[in-house]
Copies of this chain bind each other. A is one copy, B any other.
Amino acid sequence: MRRSSEDTKALILAAARERFAADGYERATIRAIAADAAIDPSMVMRYFGSKEKLFAAAADVDLRLPDLAGLPRETVGTALISHFLDRWEDDEGMMILLRTGVTNEAVAERMRGIFADQLGPLVAGLHDDPAQVPLRSGLAAAQVLGMALCRYVLRLPPVAAMSREEIVHWLGPTLQRYLVG
C-alpha cells in the first residue's frame, strides 16, 4: 500500500517541527528532516517548495490565550502563567519560535507580531486606559519568556527543577502586578 500525499506531507511537517525545535533553523538541515521522516530530501521540496516555506509552515503558532477579562480580577496573574506553562509543554512551536527568533530577524518580527496581536488585546481588556497596555504587556512578556528561556531552552538546573506549583506561586503575583497592579 502506498502513502497518500497528505500523509507524507504531515510526516515531513512533524519531523521538521521536531528538528527546528531541537536545533534551530540553520542546524536543522533538510536532509536530516527527510531522514527522520524516512523519505528523500527532494520530497520535502516537492511538498513545501523551499526550506523557508517549510519553516513557515512549522512555525505557525497560536498562543491560544484565554479570555482573562472574564476571570476574577485578582487571579489573572496565575491564570496567565499557568496557561503559558501548558502551552510550552505541549506545543513544539513555542520552542521553535524562541530558538530561531533569536538569530533570525524574520522570525523575531513574527514574534513581535504575535505579542502585539495576541497578548496586547488581552491586556487591553483589563484596562480602561489604553496608554498602559504596551508597558504592561511588555513587562509580562519579559517575565514569561524569561522563565521559558531558563526552564526549557537553557535548562538552568534550579529553574528546570522547579515544580509547576512553585513557578505559579512565584510568578503569579509578579504577573498580577505587571498586568493590573
Is there an interface contact between B170 and A139, defined as CB atoms closer than 8 Å?
Answer: yes
Contact of A112 with B157 in the complex, beta carbons under 8 Å: yes
The interface residues of chain B lying within 8 Å CB-to-CB of A174 are 143, 174, 177
Q: B158 touching A135 by the CB < 8 A rule?
A: yes
By secondary structure, the A interface counts as helix
Which residue of B is nearest A111, CB measured?
B154
Interface size on A, residues (CB 8 A): 45
Whole-angstrom CA separation of A147 from B140 in the bound complex: 10
The answer to whether B150 touches A149, judged by C-beta atoms less than 8 angstroms apart, is no
Contact B162 A135 (CB under 8 A): yes
- Interface segment among A33-41, A54-62, A65-73, A99-107: the answer is A99-107
* Given A135-B162, A155-B112, A166-B135, also A143-B146 (CB < 8 A): yes
User: Counting CB contacts under 8 A, is A161 at the interface?
Assistant: yes
A154 to B102: give the CA distance in the assembly, Å: 6
